């Protein structure tokens, strides 16, 4: 479905300094470029100009080889774009006097503990949202995914005490997810209601986001739900398909919401113009969400593409300048789905992209092309232009040797060649087994069933070849010591591995022999 909702009369009202061409065909051209360049299974795109929805473009299917097509009400995983909604829930509670941004976390969650007792005592509610904890990038994320697993919110909170910091508290920025889970539990404790209920009460209902789903819900009853896909040599293949019932997602506050492009456009309009949601958030709390609370490093790409001089994290948002204009944005990545939302608040413009496939490059290039229509219209830069630049970056990485080494020659290692077999335990991740399975050696996580791998050997090194994860997640396996003193560590094979495969924070110690096979 494609809609153009802006007429010539509205264009005449746009200030001359911000005037841009009517969107329709131009946006469709960019969307079609992204679909073709990256062979996406499905996508929904919405564009806001001068505070009004001016175009919606949808393409593809809910699932490959299925007849149902994506439309403006199709639900997608928005992943980390949930974080801004979590921040909004907290802002509503601050506005209602139920908590303060500078409240100690332990005031609301006495069981909360970080590795350092001083940090435990001094971490405030605001700190949960701005990635300044001192933990490493993505620390503890293996308690969140791959999904499904057997970690609940209590496990996640308890696990924080075992994650060692890599910098001082509040010394710098490192993206995390676990503390957003804590933020959701702080909100629930302060309000006396489950977090999924708070999301509906404080965000979905007052803003008319009627399609959004969180907590326990039935995809079968709701219908029109996009399914995740992964890219293989055979093309797009389905990932984990929704069941009849989706249980409450433990990391919901960090990335567990599903919404349609229509819902996300309503969300964007409420943020761009307080008049679209009278009384929902006062001016003070709106400023708090989009205040620069934590400086972020500026990548060379941002400097080259957008002439960026400023980058910081607000409450659930990334704040920056793009070609001299204020930009507020975030992305989301989760289990075969990608999202992107970007706003230019001073112009009341913005765009939303939802993809149900491997869409990292697609969302980057398409959002860039959409925003450049406003920030640098004379340049006429499109998706293919930015895709070519990404390809050039990749070529430079290859030339520099920063690529995944070829492991195709790896072969299963005979169990007899590995003496340090047994059961191992990590303080926060729990137990794993390194035990024979027929004529192979397998690595299996007790609480994360998708983390099952065959142990292989390549050039004198051991590696884990995952059964249910992409090869990008494969890991080197290092065993040290013998008997009860044996230890195990994992490290990434691919230098560009998703940071949520948090191998560096795992420290396994051998605790028992493998179970006897009878």
Asked, for residue 210, whether it belongs to a domain, the answer is no
What lies within 8 Å, CB to CB, of 255 at 6+ separation is 77, 78, 79, 80, 81, 82, 83, 144, 177, 180, 332, 334
Instruction: Determine, yes or no, domain membership for 444.
Output: yes
- Domain membership of residue 227 (yes or no) is no
Asked if 199 contacts 161 with a C-beta cutoff of 8 angstroms, the reply is no
Place of tokens 């925003």: 371
Q: Dig out the tokens for 356 from the structure.
A: 């149900």
What is the β-pairing status of strands 440-445 and 508-512? unpaired
In the chain, how many domains are there?
1
**DSSP 8-state class, residue 69:** B
What residue numbers bound the domain in which 481 lies? 411-512
Record the pTM: 0.93
Nearest 5°: the CA angle 501, 504, 510 is 105
Q: Is residue 155 part of a domain?
A: no
State how far the Cα of 177 lies from the Cα of 168, in Å rounded to an integer.
18
Q: Which of 372, 379, 335 is nearest to 355 (CA)?
A: 335
In-domain check, residue 75: no
- How many residues are listed for the chain in this entry? 518
Torsion sign, CA atoms 26, 30, 36, 42:
negative
Name the nearest CA neighbour of 468 among 155, 147, 192, 174: 147
DSSP secondary structure of 235-291 = EEEE-SPP-S-BPPPTTHHHH--EE-HHHHHHHHHHHH-GGGSTTTS-HHHHHHHTS
Q: Count Cβ atoms below 10 Å from residue 388 Cβ, excluding itself.
A: 12
pLDDT in single tens digits along all 518 residues of the chain: 333 333 323 333 333 334 444 567 899 999 999 999 999 999 999 999 999 999 999 999 999 988 999 999 999 999 999 999 999 999 999 999 999 999 999 999 999 999 999 999 999 999 999 999 999 999 999 999 898 899 999 999 999 999 999 999 999 999 999 999 999 999 999 999 999 999 999 999 999 999 999 999 999 999 999 999 998 888 999 998 999 999 888 999 999 999 999 999 999 999 999 999 999 999 999 999 999 999 999 999 999 999 999 999 999 999 999 999 999 999 999 989 999 999 999 999 999 999 999 999 999 999 999 999 999 999 999 999 999 999 999 999 989 888 899 999 999 999 999 999 999 999 999 999 999 999 999 999 999 999 999 999 999 999 999 998 888 899 999 999 988 889 999 999 999 999 999 999 999 999 999 998 54
């Amino acid at each position: 479905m494609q809609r153009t909702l802006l007429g010539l009369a509205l264009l005449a009202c746009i200030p001359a300094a911000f005037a841009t061409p009517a969107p329709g065909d131009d946006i469709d051209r960019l969307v079609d470029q992204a679909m073709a360049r990256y062979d996406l299974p499905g996508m929904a795109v919405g564009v806001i100009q001068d505070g009004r929805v001016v175009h919606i473009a949808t393409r593809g299917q809910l699932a490959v080889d299925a007849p149902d097509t994506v439309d403006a009400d199709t639900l997608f995983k928005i992943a980390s774009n949930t974080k801004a909604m979590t921040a909004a829930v907290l802002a509503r509670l601050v506005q209602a006097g139920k908590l303060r941004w500078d409240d100690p976390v332990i005031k609301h969650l006495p069981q909360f503990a970080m590795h350092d007792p001083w940090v435990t005592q001094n971490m405030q509610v605001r700190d949960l949202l701005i990635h300044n904890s001192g933990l490493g990038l993505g620390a503890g994320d293996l308690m969140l995914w791959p999904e499904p697993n057997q970690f609940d919110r209590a496990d996640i909170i308890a696990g924080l005490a075992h994650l060692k910091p890599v910098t001082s508290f509040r010394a710098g920025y490192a993206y995390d997810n676990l503390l957003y889970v804590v933020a959701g539990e702080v909100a629930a404790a302060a309000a006396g209601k489950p977090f999924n209920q708070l999301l509906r009460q404080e965000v979905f209902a007052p803003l008319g986001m009627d399609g959004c789903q969180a907590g326990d819900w039935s995809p079968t009853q709701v219908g029109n739900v996009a399914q995740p896909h992964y890219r293989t040599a055979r093309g797009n293949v389905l990932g984990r398909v929704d069941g009849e019932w989706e249980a409450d997602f433990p990391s919901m506050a960090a990335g567990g919401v599903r919404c349609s492009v229509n819902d996300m456009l309503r969300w964007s309009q409420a943020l761009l113009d307080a008049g679209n949601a009278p009384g929902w958030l006062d001016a003070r709390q709106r400023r708090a969400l989009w205040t620069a609370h934590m400086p972020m490093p500026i990548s060379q790409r941002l400097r080259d593409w957008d002439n960026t001089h400023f980058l910081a994290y607000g409450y659930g948002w990334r704040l920056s300048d793009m070609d001299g204009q204020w930009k507020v944005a975030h992305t989301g990545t989760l289990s075969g789905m990608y999202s992107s939302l970007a706003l230019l608040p001073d112009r009341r413009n913005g765009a939303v992209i939802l993809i149900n496939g491997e869409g990292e490059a697609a969302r980057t290039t398409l959002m860039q092309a959409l925003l450049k229509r406003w920030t640098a219209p004379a340049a006429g830069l499109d998706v293919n232009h930015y895709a070519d630049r990404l390809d050039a970056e990749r070529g430079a990485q290859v030339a520099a040797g920063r690529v995944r080494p070829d492991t195709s020659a790896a072969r299963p290692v005979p169990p007899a060649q590995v003496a340090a077999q047994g059961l191992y335990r990590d303080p926060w991740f729990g137990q794993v087994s390194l035990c024979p399975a027929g004529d192979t050696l397998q690595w299996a996580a007790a609480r994360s069933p998708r983390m099952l791998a065959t142990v292989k050997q390549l050039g004198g090194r051991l590696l884990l070849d995952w059964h249910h994860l992409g090869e990008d997640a494969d890991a080197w396996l290092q065993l040290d010591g013998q008997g009860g003193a044996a230890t195990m560590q994992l490290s990434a094979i691919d230098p560009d591995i998703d940071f949520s495969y948090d191998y560096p924070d795992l420290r396994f110690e051998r605790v028992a022999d493998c179970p006897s096979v009878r």
